[in-house]
Structure 1
Amino acid sequence: MNNASTIARQYLAAWNEADGAARRNHVKQLFTPNARYVDPMMQGSGHEGIETLIAGAQHHFPGHRFELSGVPDGHNDVVRFSWTLRAPDGDSVAHGTDIAVVAGDGRLASVTGFLDKA
């Protein structure tokens, strides 16, 4: 998959978007209407469910930012990428890897997150 990096960057941009209206727009553009997100700590589905998860993470980690770690890769309809969550002072507070399935329209149908450090 030649656009794994683009998908990963758009995904992290949605998680970093602090403005609620802009974040909802990111989610609608990035995820299919019935998309599902799951990791060891939370899960949600649909645009509203996923946007609520992102808003909750931002509330729990104010001022923190997700950054891409390494080089995303993919094949067929699957994208894999790693990320780091950084505190406002730059300290790393979490690392993980997400596996996303891309639907035929180019949006994400599902994301499964793995936490390497939390």
Structure 2
Amino acid sequence: MTDATKIARRYIELWNERTPSRRREMLSQDWTADARYVDPLMAGDGADAVDALISGVQQRFPDFKFKLIGEPNGFGDHVRFSWGLGPDGADSPIKGTDFAVLKDGRIQSITGFLDQVPPGA
């Protein structure tokens, strides 16, 4: 059985990791080599592209961090969780929900939905 909470927490840790070499290590451990990420604003195939997407978000929002909102859930090889992106100690101005498809316990694809994005973000 898939541990939805563990998958979601590791995913959030990845997006918060600022050290490129550590982020690449996490990608190789937790994502398949052919992993795909897509949301309404960006998409990428493979570890290099996913890493570049994460780096871009970190550069655009240098003082923001990701956090889980609510409890992740899932079944089989599917996991759903919600997240917030914002400054520590404050409500997240940006919120979303991601759906992961796993292969052999690793993320094979993420489809992200943006639930709340303020103008200009």
Q: Classify the TM-score, shorter chain.
A: over 0.9
Aligned equivalent of 1:107:
106
The percent of aligned pairs where both chains have the same amino acid is: 47
Distance across 2 between alignment mates of 1:45 and 1:2: 23
- Could you list the per-position Cα deviations for residues 20-65 of structure 1 after superposition, in whole angstroms to 9, with x for gaps in the alignment? 1111111111110000000000000101010010000000000210
Q: What SS class does the counterpart of residue 35 from structure 2 fall into?
A: strand
Listed as ranges, the gaps of 5+ residues in structure 1 are none
- In the alignment of these two chains, the number of paired residues is 117
For the pair 1:25 / 2:53, whether they are aligned, the reply is no
CA distance in 2, matches of 1:113, 1:34: 17
Residue 92 of structure 1 aligns with which residue? 92
Structure 2: gaps (5+ residues): none
Q: Which runs of 4+ in 1 moved over 3 A?
A: none
TM-score by length of structure 1 reads 0.94
Q: How does 1:32-111 map to 2 (within 5 A)?
A: 32-88=32-88, 90-104=90-104, 106-111=105-110
- Matched position secondary structure for 1:51: helix
- The residue type equivalent to 1:114 in the other structure is F
2:58 corresponds to which letter in structure 1? Q
Alignment root-mean-square deviation, CA: 1.2
1:5 match = 5
Tell me how far 1:110 sits from its aligned partner. 0.2
Give the SS at the match of 2:12. Answer: helix
